[in-house]
Amino acid sequence: MENGTWYRFCAILLYMPRPPRVDVGNHVYHVLNRAVARVTLFETEADYTLFESVLEEITSRTGIRLLTYCIMPNHFHLLLYPKNDGELSTFMHLLTLTHTQRWHAEKGTVGSGHLYQGRYKSFLVDTDRYFTSVFRYIEQNPIRAKLVKRPETWQWSGLYRRLYGSEKSKKLFSPLPVELPEDYLKSLTLPLSIVEIEQIRTSVNRGQPYGTDTWREKVTTAFKLESTFRKGGRPRKDRG
């Protein structure tokens, strides 16, 4: 990227309004962070393994409840269930800082700058059928990106670890707040609906809570998230 283009890009980011971010315990959050300028961050098996080792370390250090994850070439998804207020931001700060330091140490590029685009993106997730939709959305990422034909073959994911990991490695995950359907693995062979994908991506970009109308109204008011919605300051009614 040429200098002039880069500076214009930074200026746009600087003046873009940032969506409000909630960091309250005992709520489920979908969290995403991308590499700066969306460059490829994970190229080799060693790159993915390094991130997983940092994820294991910081999860253990903070005690945050990790429900699943998926590492993609230029970003990662996490589903987190913090116990305490402020725990999410502490975890994400330690995760990205530690990973950045070790990535640069491995590449011999210490002092050369940031790895991530800035603030992570997050949104609250209702613990009902919407929870399962987000779970599927995360674990189907490699299919949508056409990296694999079956999600369980993508090695760098919570799904792969649950199916093929050792009993010790599976301890990275905390119990889910709701049970997945018995046919969950089979459901991963079917794409989410266009409406579900649109709603989840809107939640990613705007920080909108994702769940039933009643629940969204409740958390929107409680955490002052009206600005994450369009005109009227309230969630749109669910479609179908």
Asked if residue 10 has pLDDT above 70, the reply is no
- For the segment 103-149, what is each residue's pLDDT rounded down to a tens digit? 999 998 886 778 998 889 999 999 999 999 999 999 999 999 999 99
Give the integer Cα–Cα distance in Å for 136 and 71. 14
Q: State the pLDDT at residue 94.
A: 98
Q: Which residue has the higher pLDDT, 108 or 155?
A: 155
Residue matched to tokens 């230029």:
74
Contact 124, 209 (CB under 8 A): yes
The alpha helices in the chain, defined as continuous H runs, are: 3-15, 45-62, 87-107, 129-139, 141-144, 158-164, 167-170, 184-187, 194-206, 213-222
Segment holding 231, helix H or strand E = none
Average pLDDT over residues 32-51: 94
- For the segment 53-88, what is each residue's pLDDT rounded down to a tens digit? 999 999 999 999 999 999 999 999 999 999 999 999
Give the integer Cα–Cα distance in Å for 122 and 30. 5
Whole-prediction pTM value?
0.87
The one-letter code for the residue type at 111 is: G
Beta strands across the sheet bearing 121-125: 66-72, 75-80, 28-34, 121-125
Give the integer Cα–Cα distance in Å for 18 and 194. 26
- Sign, CA dihedral 20-141-72-55, equals positive
Q: State the pLDDT at residue 213.
A: 95
Residue 13: CB atoms within 10 A of its CB come to 11
Q: State the pLDDT at residue 3.
A: 46
CA Rg, the chain, in Å? 18
DSSP string, 131-143: HHHHHHHHHTHHH
Tokens of 156: 């760098």
- For the segment 166-187, what is each residue's pLDDT rounded down to a tens digit? 999 999 999 999 999 999 999 9
Average pLDDT score over the chain: 89
Q: State the pLDDT at residue 119.
A: 87
Give the integer Cα–Cα distance in Å for 79 and 66. 6
Instruction: Please give the CATH number for the structural domain made up of 20-212.
Output: 3.30.70.1290
- For the segment 204-225, what is each residue's pLDDT rounded down to a tens digit? 999 999 999 999 999 999 999 9
24 secondary structure, DSSP code: -
